[in-house]
Amino acid sequence: MFKTIVENVSAEVIEKKSKFIANIFHVESVDEAEEILKELGKKYHDARHNCYAFKIAKDNISRASDDGEPSGTAGMPILNILNGNDLSNVLVVVTRYFGGILLGTGGLVRAYSEATAKAIEKGHLANQDIGLEIKFNIEYKDLEEYKYQLKKRNIEITDILYDEKIEITAEGSVEEVQKIMNEKISDRIAINKVDSVKEKYVYIR
């Protein structure tokens, strides 16, 4: 289990007229991180540097870039903040608009670290781990009872599709999802037929 950021947030730090804008994102793959980096490169095309670091839980991947800053003064300090907070499935991009005054290596490390830490402080953190996503169908009359019973077990309903029956997509810890698949979740309700089950990273309360 590890901590991650739930929603995307940003924070800003000014250091000797240089502006450092930290944007933090929840990502679950290298491709997702790289797509965001492309978009931010367009958004901040007039900035001197777009430095970043990301950590992906799957395959334990981490990368960092100084994007033209002196080696070790930007990407690694950002990554060190992520490691220090035990964060994964996170991308942090710190954009620098140069203010005309050189900061030196120590000043750069402090500025990139401070911007990253400030963004993390603003964000909503949650625990994440490998869990299960499950899909199943229920009768309309049972919807509220299912919603109540799943919530009680910290299983989150992520989608509800209304058709002849109601298709529910829910996710939670492996233990709790397996329990509701194998036994009645209340005196009158059981999951009789599971349409699909797959592993994925899920939020764990």
What is the identity of the amino acid at 126?
Answer: A
pTM equals 0.80
156 with 80, same domain: the answer is no
Q: Which of 55-59, 112-116, 152-156, 183-187 has the lowest mean pLDDT?
A: 183-187
Query: Do residues 25 and 78 make contact, with C-beta atoms less than 8 angstroms apart?
Result: no
Considering the domain architecture, whether residues 11 and 42 belong to the same structural domain is answered as yes
User: Which one-letter amino acid corresponds to residue 44?
Assistant: Y
Residue 147's CATH number: 3.30.70.1150
CA distance 111 to 16: 10
Are 147 and 105 spatial neighbours (Cβ–Cβ below 8 Å)?
no
The CATH number of whichever domain residue 113 belongs to comes to 3.30.230.30
What range defines the domain where residue 175 resides? 127-204
Of the candidates 92, 123, 154, which is a domain's last residue? 123
For residues 101 and 192, state if they share a domain: no
**105 in the same domain as 12:** yes
Mean pLDDT of all residues in 1-28: 93
pLDDT given for residue 201 in this prediction: 85
**What's the pLDDT tens digit per position in 121-177?**
998 899 998 899 999 999 999 999 999 999 988 899 999 999 999 999 999 999 999
pLDDT for residue 205: 65
Same domain, 85 and 141: no
107 & 153 share domain: no
What tokens does 111 get?
Answer: 């500025």
Domain match, 141 and 196 both: yes
Residue pLDDT, tens place only, 187-200: 777 887 888 888 88
10-19, 25-34, 176-185 — which is least confidently predicted?
176-185
- Token pair, residue 34, equals 């790289």
Kindly tell me if the per-residue pLDDT of 204 is higher than 90: no
Report, as an integer, the average pLDDT of 38-50.
Answer: 94
Dihedral of alpha carbons 133, 138, 143, 148, sign = negative
Q: What is the average pLDDT across 98-118? A: 92
Domains: count for the chain = 2
